[in-house]
């Protein structure tokens, strides 16, 4: 019997920008530390992601350990250093249908991002405590993540996808937080609850995939053959949507480290 384990951890400090691989992290009810605590938005506060702006993945983000500052690097741009305290003006933010208040108003960051993307945008921060809530759980705070605190990808499922597509599909295309190894391909479809260390997770629902997965995670250039969506649509379509990966919700808090075994509860 295969024994799954936690193979990798990723966080995305600025939504849709390049991710950072971690060896360990303290997971809270809102997810990994600093994960999607910053977001690029249009002038009205509506989120901009790699769906509309795939070049966002070209922006490398390094966060200070205490989370007070982030450093942004992008091709052809000077380095940008931003303190979260510089974003001190309340701004309306929208992620899908969720409307809530965040913080913005730092013109140097807005100008830097606008120049790189070639359109007027702004940088937002979630604030000291997120004003956004999980719709079904009003007691639970949520970052700028699409809908759930965490996303899990099974490495064996990714291998199966790569085999079917005829070329390797990097895990970074799918922007996971947790990568699992040692499980059979698509075993995660049947998982309901799991435990890693002292933290238990509820598997909420499969993740619906979009055109963002077709963007190269380094260059931001979209694949001309529409992969991996084209292949996924052949065997992972449910109710008209393409599914890959599972959305998770932590039930408590605790330390995660790569190499930890994963216990399947349900």
- 41-78, pLDDT tens digit by residue? 999 999 999 999 999 999 999 999 888 999 999 999 99
pTM above 0.85, yes or no: yes
Q: How many CB atoms lie within 10 A of CB 191?
A: 21
Distances (CA, A) of 22 to 15, 161, 193: 17, 25, 23
Give me the mean pLDDT over the 201-218 stretch: 96
Q: What is the CA radius of gyration of the chain?
A: 18
pLDDT score for 66: 85
State the Cα–Cα distance between residues 75 and 121, nearest whole angstrom: 18
- Looking at domain 5-30+146-264, its CATH architecture is Beta Barrel (2.40)
User: Which uninterrupted H or E stretch holds 63?
Assistant: strand 60-63
State the Cα–Cα distance between residues 264 and 266, nearest whole angstrom: 6
- Domain positions in the chain are 5-30+146-264, 38-132
State the Cα–Cα distance between residues 200 and 156, nearest whole angstrom: 22
State the Cα–Cα distance between residues 117 and 127, nearest whole angstrom: 24
Q: How many CB atoms lie within 10 A of CB 230?
A: 13
The answer to whether 257 and 197 are in contact (CB under 8 A) is yes
Give percent of the chain above pLDDT 70: 98
**pLDDT value at 138 more than 80:** no
């Amino acid at each position: 019997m295969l024994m799954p384990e936690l193979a990798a951890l990723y966080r995305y400090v600025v939504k849709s920008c390049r991710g950072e691989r971690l060896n360990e992290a303290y997971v809270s009810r809102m997810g990994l530390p600093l994960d999607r605590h910053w977001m690029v938005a249009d002038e009205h506060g509506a989120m901009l992601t790699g769906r509309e702006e795939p070049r966002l993945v070209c922006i490398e983000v390094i966060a200070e350990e205490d989370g007070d500052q982030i450093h942004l690097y992008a091709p052809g741009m000077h380095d940008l250093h931003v303190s979260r305290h510089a974003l001190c003006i309340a701004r309306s933010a929208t992620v899908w249908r969720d409307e809530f208040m965040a913080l913005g108003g730092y013109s140097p960051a807005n100008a830097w991002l606008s120049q790189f993307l070639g359109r007027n945008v702004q940088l937002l921060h979630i604030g000291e405590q997120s004003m956004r809530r999980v719709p079904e759980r009003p007691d639970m705070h949520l970052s700028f993540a699409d809908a759930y605190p965490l996303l899990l990808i099974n490495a064996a499922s990714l291998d199966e996808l790569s085999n079917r597509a005829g070329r390797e599909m990097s895990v970074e295309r799918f922007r996971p937080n947790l990568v699992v190894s040692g499980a059979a391909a698509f075993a995660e479809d049947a998982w309901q609850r799991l435990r890693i260390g002292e933290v238990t997770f509820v598997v909420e629902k499969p993740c619906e995939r979009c055109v963002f997965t077709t963007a190269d995670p380094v260059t931001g250039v979209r694949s001309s053959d529409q992969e991996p969506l084209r292949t996924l649509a052949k065997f992972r379509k449910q109710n008209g949507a393409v599914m890959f990966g599972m959305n998770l919700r932590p039930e408590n808090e605790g330390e995660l480290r790569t190499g930890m075994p994963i216990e399947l509860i349900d």
